[in-house]
């Protein structure tokens, strides 16, 4: 079963509005999660999720019985979030290039990253999840967006490049830097870490 597809509602809805409300409640977490991971902003993600469901309402006759409704909603949410971020894309590029020139970052620095498999107490695990969420949200858009598209949406490099309108090399570089920055942020937050050299 597709994890994006919700379980069937136990009580059949009475009218179209109730049916649409049930449809929304079934998919709202999936849509919102996609938007908030890409934008790292709950208010913007809520606006995007609202727009997704307004579009879904316009074609609810087709979606209500479609087995791929979850995929359609995720795709629309991804596209709307990317459109939203596209307005700032030139700024990402500018600062990305500027920072590289200023710091002279090389492609293969040694990276230390938190060890994932250590057993943790529940409080420590919750704290660590919060640290990861904060570190991910704090990444610049040009690093966070490829990370989310690659690790959550399972898009290949070339499709990420096409969606973002950037080169394949830039996607790979931003992914590597995003992972390294995430690892560095968690190391700075006190997580136990391993060492990795590229």
Partner 1 sequence: MTPRPAPPRLPPEPDPLAAWTHATLRALPSPTAPATLAGRVLAELARREARPWWRREVAGWPRSARLIFVLTAGAGAILSAAAFHGGTERLAAVLARLTDALAPLAALGPAVLRAVAELPAAWLQGLGFAFCTSLAAVLALVLTLTRLLAPRA
Site for partner 1 in 12-41 (CB under 8 A): 17, 21, 24-25, 28-33, 36-37
Asked if residue 61 binds partner 1 (CB under 8 A), the reply is no
Asked if residue 133 binds partner 1 (CB under 8 A), the reply is yes
Residue placing its CB nearer to partner 1 in the complex, 57 or 64: 57
Three-class SS of the chain = CCCCCCCCCCCCCCCHHHHHHHHHHHHHHHHHHHHHHHHCCHHHHHHHHHHHHHHHHHCHHHHCCCCCHHHHHHHHHHHHHHHHHHCCHHHHHHHHHHHHHHHCCCCCCEEEEECCCCCCCHHHHHHHHHHHHHHHHHCCHHHHHHHHHHHCCCCCHHHHHHHHCCCHHHHHHHHHHHHHHHHHHHHHCCCCEEEEEC
Asked if residue 189 binds partner 1 (CB under 8 A), the reply is no
Residue placing its CB nearer to partner 1 in the complex, 18 or 98: 18
Interaction pattern, residues 76-115, with partner 1; x per rule: CB under 8 A: -----------------------------------x-xx-
Residues engaged in binding partner 1 (CB under 8 A):
17, 21, 24-25, 28-33, 36-37, 42, 46, 49-50, 53-54, 57, 111, 113-114, 116, 129, 132-133, 136, 147, 151-152, 175-176, 179-180, 182-183, 186, 194, 196, 198
């Amino acid at each position: 079963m597709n994890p994006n597809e919700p379980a069937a509602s136990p009580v059949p809805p009475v009218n179209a509005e109730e049916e649409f409300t049930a449809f929304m409640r079934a998919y709202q977490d999936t849509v919102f999660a996609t938007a908030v991971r890409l934008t790292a902003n709950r208010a913007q993600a809520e606006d995007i999720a609202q727009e997704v469901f307004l579009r879904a309402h316009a074609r609810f006759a087709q979606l209500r019985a479609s087995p791929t409704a979850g995929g359609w909603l995720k795709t629309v949410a991804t596209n709307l979030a990317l459109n939203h971020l596209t307005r700032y894309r030139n700024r990402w590029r500018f600062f990305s290039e500027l920072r590289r020139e200023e710091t002279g970052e090389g492609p293969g620095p040694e990276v230390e990253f938190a060890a994932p498999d250590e057993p943790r107490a529940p409080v420590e695990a919750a704290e660590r999840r919060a640290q990861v969420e904060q570190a991910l949200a704090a990444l610049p858009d040009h690093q966070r967006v490829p990370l989310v598209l690659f690790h959550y949406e399972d898009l290949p490099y070339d499709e990420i490049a096409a969606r973002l309108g950037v080169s394949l090399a830039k996607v790979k570089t931003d992914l590597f830097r995003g992972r390294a920055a995430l690892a560095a942020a968690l190391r700075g937050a006190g997580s136990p870490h391993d060492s990795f050299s590229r």
